[in-house]
Structure 1
Amino acid sequence: MAEAERIRLAAIAARDAAIAEGVRRAARAVARVAEGLIRAVLTFPARVETYNALRQLSDRELQDIGMTRFDIGRVFEPGFSPRPANDAGQRPAPRAA
């Protein structure tokens, strides 16, 4: 009988540990979502300002900074990197005649 009680108590402890781990994971997930929302709200004005400033540039000015009109909407995507700017010191190779 004592053996059965020990097994029952071990099962209860394992169940409680699994529930606690699940609650911790859920809490971390909720915290990540909340952090992302707060970051989005806090950076929104700067993003709008940057987006509007880029939209006001001419095609030539965008080309000078290595962008096109198509790139403006992607500026805030993770991993976005414009092409090297025109004034990066690189000159195109001369054309063969």
Structure 2
Amino acid sequence: MNARVTKPEFDSAIVSSMMSLAPAQLMQLEAARSRDEAVGRWFRNAVTAIFRAVVEYPRRRRVYDELAMLSDRELADIGLARGDIPRIFEADFQARAKRAANTPARLGAARAA
């Protein structure tokens, strides 16, 4: 005796069983499927974010250490202050606009805006 069920047999069994369900039950099944897909997406995104953070940590730490080793003058040359180093890895961080060394701070700020 062959206990295997072929795909067409399985699909026809599913369709026939779905036809016997009430509309409320069909809606409930659809809502459960949508919820399960949403939970799966959330879990996949969380695992991906954790994996990326673990993989990126050594590179970020190396950049942080290299910037910390620069002098204040070297940091100023690239538009950073020592206090900016921890914030560099924030998504919305932007370095200050460069201005000429002989431009007063108020004029440089007005031109950058």
Confirm or deny a common fold (TM above 0.5): yes
Distance in 2 between residues matched to 1:40 and 1:46, nearest whole Å: 10
**Match among 85, 92, 95 for residue 103 of structure 2:** 92
Rg (Cα) greater in structure: 2
Pair 1:38 & 2:51 matched = yes
Q: Flag structure 2 segments of 5+ consecutive residues without an equivalent.
A: 1-18, 105-113
Residue in structure 2 matching 1:66, options 74, 79, 86: 79
Q: How far, CA to CA, are the matches of 2:63 and 2:98 in structure 1?
A: 18
Q: CA deviation at 1:91?
A: 5.8
The two structures have a TM-score, normalised by structure 1, of: 0.79
Normalised to the residue count of structure 2, the TM-score between the two structures is 0.68
**Separation (CA, whole Å) in 1 of partners of 2:56 and 2:98:** 26
Question: Identity rate of aligned residues, in percent?
Answer: 32
- 1:56 is aligned, of 64, 69, 79, to 69
Give the structure, 1 or 2, with the largest relative contact order (CA under 8 Å, sep 6 or more).
1
Letter in 2 for 1:48: R
**Unmatched tracts of structure 1, length 5 or more:** 1-5
Pair 1:12-2:25 in alignment: yes
Tell me if the contact between 1:65 and 1:84 (Cα under 8 Å) persists in the aligned partners: no
Q: Which residue of 1 aligns with 2:37?
A: 24
Poorly superposed stretches of 4+, deviation over 6 Å:
none
Q: 1:44 to 1:9 in 2, by over 3 A?
A: same
Q: Name the residue aligned to 1:3.
A: none
Give the aligned length.
85
Give the root-mean-square deviation of aligned CA atoms: 2.0
Q: 1:35 to 1:75 in 2, by over 3 A?
A: same
